[in-house]
Structure 1
Amino acid sequence: MPMPQKVLLLVSVGSPPPVLLRELEDPIALQLGLKAVVGKVALSTPTYAFNKDRSQYHCNAILRRLSTLLEPSHSMVLGVTDVDLFVPDSPFVLGEADRESRSAILSLARLRQGAEGEQLKRRLQVEAVHLAAHLLGLSYCEDTRCVMFFAQAPQDCDRKNLSLCNNCRNEMNKLNR
């Protein structure tokens, strides 16, 4: 009997363009075999996560809120936001995934730098696949072209493929057994 397909809930946090969330469904399904569905519930701008000193939003607070949206039919949740994110030891992050809470957050704020239209859509897709793969158990990859490479700037996303390298694909196959 085939295993039931895992479902990734996509949630808007703040006011990212709704069309962008739908643009993530196919690449996530194609690359990771996850069924991605845009949730009916959207979260408002996460003012509870705002840090005045940094003028940024703390990922962990948003991840905690996202994890409360998981229903039994969902394996994991990915929030997409338009606010600038941080974790304490970094000046900023493009996104963050927490395997334990099965939640991830991805920000358009930095990905927008010098990009619009197709380039922005592709950056968002690359990082969404990256974060979803973290939720499935994959770690960072050394291959700068692999979707699992750690992007430290939006330009890194432009170099990455939308797909896993052979090493990461093999690792994913092991995790799915």
Structure 2
Amino acid sequence: MPVDIVPVGNVSAPVTRAASSALRSIYGCEVTVNDSQSVPDGAYDTGRNQYCAENFIQLAERVGRGEKNIAITPLDLFYRRRNYVFGLAYLDGSGSVVSTYRLQTSSDGGLSRKSEADVFSDRVRKEIVHEVGHTYGLEHCEDDRCVMNFSPTVREVDVKGEALCGDCRGLVGLD
């Protein structure tokens, strides 16, 4: 199944490479990277000083060329009453979004001896796989090592793995 990455704003090449690599590795899908897009009109909320995640999903669905399309942005996103989100997707939908804004903290809390750049890349890979997993119909998983485990903090992103557990792999037909 083709997946198109839609950069929104100033997204670096290492971020799109990490995202592409993770999607190919976990889902075995064909991945393309779209041209960079401008921030969607009406996405910025002045009261919150953040951007509405849903607007980015709509942009990805509109301009993406894949069966699944994921926007990536360095901007800070929110969804409804949540203070922030790393990403958002609708179950069985065609669009999703990941924000790298809050994934850029300098440390993984001592979980590894990886460089700051490697920790950031790992987080990007996990969140891309997680959000695209939702578009494949996967809900949050109770297995704390599964990439589909709910992770509202970077610490929880760092703890979980990049791969789908056996149950989630089976649900998307990867076994």
Output the TM-score relative to the length of structure 2.
0.89
Q: Quick one: which amino acid aligns to residue 118 of structure 1? A: D
Instruction: Provide the rounded CA distance (Å) in 2 between the counterparts of 1:148 and 1:33.
Output: 17
Cα separation, partners in 2 of 1:24 and 1:106, compared to 1, 3 Å: same
**Aligned match of 2:72:** 80
How far off is 1:58 after superposition? 0.3
SS in 2 for 1:88: coil
SS in 1 for 2:146: coil
Q: State the percentage of identical aligned residues.
A: 26
What's the Cα RMSD here?
1.7
Q: Quick one: which amino acid aligns to residue 127 of structure 2? A: E
How many equivalent pairs are there?
167
Instruction: Provide the rounded CA distance (Å) in 2 between the counterparts of 1:38 and 1:65.
Output: 14
Output the TM-score relative to the length of structure 1.
0.88
Q: Quick one: which amino acid aligns to residue 39 of structure 2? A: T
**Aligned match of 1:3:** none
1:20-46: per-residue Cα shift (whole Å, max 9, x none)?
Answer: 10222222112112212111x211234
The answer to whether the 8 A contact 1:22-1:38 is kept is: no
**Aligned match of 1:26:** 21
Gaps of 5+ in 1: 1-5
Gaps of 5+ in 2: 108-115
The answer to whether the 8 A contact 1:94-1:110 is kept is: yes
1:81-132: per-residue Cα shift (whole Å, max 9, x none)?
Answer: 0000001121110000124651111001011123430000000000101111
**Aligned match of 1:120:** 120
**2:28 maps to 1:36:** no
**Aligned match of 2:58:** 64
SS in 2 for 1:24: helix
How far off is 1:60 after superposition? 1.0
